[in-house]
Amino acid sequence: MTVTVYHNPRCSTSRTVLAAVRDSGVEPTVVKYLETPPDEATLRRLIDDAGLTPRTAVRRREKLYAELGLADADDETVLRAMLEHPILIERPFVVSDAGTVLARPAATVSRVL
């Protein structure tokens, strides 16, 4: 099985998910998405494949969310903000042969392992 984790090492949930993937016996590809942000096609695919929308995949607790006025923005505006400011992308997305999840809470990673 191949697994990719879109990871932020400063996030405890992301670290927990990465450990769970490794504990399952799989060494994942780790994408530090703040250093290597996904392009538009990849971000759209992650969101769509996880059954989400940009509004449900954005980090609402991030200060920048409020500063940019995203609470009342449409999905396309939210997606553009996520592309311009990857810190707004909720984490961690996990992609495997079994599917894609936004692993929040961390236990949801089991769906794709």
Helices 75-84, 40-49: crossing angle, 10 deg rounding: 130
- E strands along 8-44, which residues? 29-32
Instruction: Please give the average per-residue pLDDT across 50-54, as a whole number.
Output: 98
Cβ 85 vs Cβ 78: under 8 Å = no
Instruction: Please give the average per-residue pLDDT across 44-70, as a whole number.
Output: 97
Q: Identify the burial level of 5 via C-beta atoms within 10 angstroms of its C-beta, where 0-12 means exposed, 13-18 middle and 19 or more buried.
A: buried
pLDDT digits (tens, 9 = 90+) for 60-113: 999 999 999 999 999 999 999 999 999 999 999 999 999 999 999 999 999 999
- β-pairing, 3-7 with 29-32? parallel
- Give the three-state DSSP class for 51: coil
pLDDT confidence tier of residue 18, bands split at 50, 70 and 90: very high
Concatenated DSSP letters for 72-109? G--HHHHHHHHHH-GGGB-S-EEEETTEEEE-SSGGGG
pLDDT confidence tier of residue 55, bands split at 50, 70 and 90: very high
Active site members: 11
